[in-house]
Amino acid sequence: MKVETCAFSGHKIYPGKGMTFIRSDARLFKFGSRKARAHYNMRHNPRKMAWTQVFRRMHKKGNLSSFKAKKSRRVVKFQRGFVGASLAEIREKVQAQRDLRAVKKQAVAKAKGASAKPTKAERRAAKKAKRAEKAAKTVKAGRPNLGGR
């Protein structure tokens, strides 16, 4: 037994009940009652009709459990030791590695600081000088047009 749902109200339509409306774009609409069909034809909004399932769902009426999606279980992560290493030992090793990385990072930063980049003003001045040099260059005269073809 195939149970349809009403295109307007969202109610169940059992076999042999309701009516089918086929729009000019070949879309099929099943209506459970004349009332639903009439409201659809008058272009009423089912969200504003208190008796439709859409309205009830929007306004949290009735049995909410049927509308609510199932909650997914959250995976809870937790650490534990394994053969040959307790959790404390593992954490110590990880912390030591972090400290080592931080020290290396600082060393690299100091090395970069020694070979300091030119400041913005210096870069601008260099750019201007380059432009001025480019503009000052004389352009070599090309071959004169001699006519022909």
Count other Cβ atoms within 10 Å, centred on residue 5.
Answer: 14
Longest dimension (CA), the chain: 96
Q: Using one digit for the tens of pLDDT, what is the confidence trace for 36-66?
A: 999 999 999 999 999 999 999 999 888 756 6
User: Could you give the CA distance from residue 28 to residue 25 in angstroms, rounded to a whole number?
Assistant: 9
Strands 28-31 and 19-22: antiparallel
Q: Which residues pair with 4 in a beta bridge?
A: 13
How is domain 4-63 classified at the CATH fold level? Ribosomal Protein L24e; Chain: T; (2.30.170)
Q: What's the predicted TM-score (pTM) here?
A: 0.44
User: Could you give the CA distance from residue 40 to residue 37 in angstroms, rounded to a whole number?
Assistant: 5
Q: Using one digit for the tens of pLDDT, what is the confidence trace for 52-109?
A: 999 999 998 887 566 567 788 899 988 888 888 888 898 999 999 999 999 999 999 8
Q: Using one digit for the tens of pLDDT, what is the confidence trace for 111-145?
A: 887 766 778 888 899 899 888 887 776 667 777 77
Counting residues of the chain whose pLDDT is more than 90, the rounded percentage is 52
